[in-house]
């Protein structure tokens, strides 16, 4: 019997754009290839929040989607914070990255409150930052993806950037930062989806989750030649 690993996907109905669903597929498939039994929980507003999870992921959304989930997210925020503090790996993309921060003040002046897992603040601007993006990260090497957002994010002292921008915009138009990291929580603007082209990131989430739950993770590396081909082609695309 293979060992279960629970993957909790936050708000797939409202927060799931530009291919973000691919992140769930990659985690599920890689867990299977490593010999685990992935158990997927889709959490939408009003659902019962699970007692625990081994990996938590969430995607991007329109400002309207973010407004829609705000109250529910604030309700489950304390549980997510406890999970983050205990080292549970999480990947939050764009709209949920912003709301894992302190707040998102939209272009219209509306403040959407976040849960403050990440020490970041986001301000809606009139310029949309759109296109392919390439960053360099000390922990994960080159990270390749696609961004599309009008919110610009600034890091506080308790968050470090996930990567530095090589091509594209990233968090904002003022510094070179992309994404944020606190413990095993990763926030990023990268869609595309991000995980199929960045298996190192997927393996980080999986390895942290498995080690935390079962004490060790020792497997031969998976054959990632297809992902390598996708990376080589994506990296050559213009902004
Ligand atoms: N609505 C947010 C913004 O425009 C997030 C967009 C997204 O998730 N792609 O900044």
What is the CB < 6 Å shell around ligand 1? 17, 60-63, 66, 94-95, 148-151
Per-residue pLDDT at 1 exceeds 80: no
Which ligand 1 atom sits nearest the alpha carbon of residue 148?
Answer: 9
List the structure tokens of 87: 């080292």
Torsion sign over Cα 231, 28, 8, 22 = positive
Indicate which residue's Cα is closest to atom 6 of ligand 1: 149
Integer Cα distance of 62 and 115 in angstroms: 18
User: Which one, of 4, 11, 23, lies nearest residue 146 by Cα?
Assistant: 23
- 3-state helix/strand/coil string of 70-124: HHHHHHHHHHHHHHHHCCCCEEEECHHHHHHCCEEECCCCCEEECCCCCCEEEEE
Q: What is the CATH number of domain 3-235?
A: 3.40.50.880
Q: How remote is the CA of residue 227 from the centroid of ligand 1, in Å?
A: 26
- Please state whether beta strands 185-188 and 90-93 pair in parallel, antiparallel, or not at all (unpaired): parallel
Torsion of CA 52, 58, 61, 67, to 10 degrees: 20
Looking at residue 239, what is its pLDDT?
Answer: 87
pTM: 0.97
Q: Which residues contact 227 (CB under 8 A, 6 or more apart)?
A: 196, 197, 199
* Cα separation, 209 vs 204, whole angstroms: 8
Of 98, 194, 110, 204, the C-alpha closest to 152 is 98
State how beta strands 120-137 and 4-10 pair: unpaired
21-33 vs 199-214: helix axis angle to the nearest 10? 60
Mean pLDDT of the chain, nearest integer: 97
Q: Which tens digit of pLDDT belongs to each residue from 181-231?
A: 999 999 999 999 999 999 999 999 999 999 999 999 999 999 999 999 999
Residues marked active site are found at 94, 191
149 and 107 Cβ atoms separated by less than 8 Å: no
Contact 122, 107 (CB under 8 A): no
- Which residue out of 60, 70, 112, 128 has the highest number of ligand 1 atoms within 8 Å of its CB and is therefore the one to mutate? 60
Give the closest residue (by CA) to ligand 1 atom 3.
Answer: 149
Average of pLDDT values for 41-57?
Answer: 97
Beta carbons within 8 Å of 204's beta carbon, 6+ residues apart? 89, 139, 140, 186
pLDDT in tens, 173-194: 999 999 999 999 999 999 999 9
For ligand 1, what atom is nearest to the CA of residue 122?
10
> Mean pLDDT throughout 110-136?
97
Q: How far is the CA of 210 from the centre of ligand 1 (A)?
A: 31
- Is there a cis peptide before residue 20, judged by omega within 30 degrees of 0? no
């Amino acid at each position: 019997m293979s060992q279960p690993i629970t993957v909790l996907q936050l708000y797939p109905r409202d927060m799931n754009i530009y291919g973000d669903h691919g992140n769930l597929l990659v985690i599920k498939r890689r867990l299977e290839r490593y010999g685990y039994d992935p158990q997927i929980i889709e959490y939408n507003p009003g659902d019962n929040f699970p007692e625990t999870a081994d990996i938590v992921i969430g995607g991007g959304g329109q400002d309207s989607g973010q407004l829609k989930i705000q109250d529910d997210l604030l309700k489950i925020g304390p549980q997510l914070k406890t999970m983050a503090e205990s080292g549970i790996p999480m990947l939050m993309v764009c709209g949920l990255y912003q709301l894992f921060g302190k707040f998102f003040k939209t272009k219209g002046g509306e403040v959407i409150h976040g849960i403050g897992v990440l020490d970041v603040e986001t301000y809606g601007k009139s310029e949309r930052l759109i296109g392919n993006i390439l960053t360099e990260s000390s922990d994960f090497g080159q990270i390749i993806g696609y961004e599309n957002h009008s919110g610009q994010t600034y890091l506080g002292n308790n968050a470090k950037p996930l990567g530095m921008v090589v091509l594209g915009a990233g968090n904002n138009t003022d510094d070179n930062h992309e994404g944020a990291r606190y413990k095993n929580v990763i926030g990023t603007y990268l869609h595309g989806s991000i995980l199929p082209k960045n298996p190192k990131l997927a393996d980080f989430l999986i390895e942290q989750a498995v080690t935390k739950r079962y004490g060790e993770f020792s497997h031969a590396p998976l054959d990632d030649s297809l992902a390598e081909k996708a990376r080589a082609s994506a990296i050559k695309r213009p902004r």
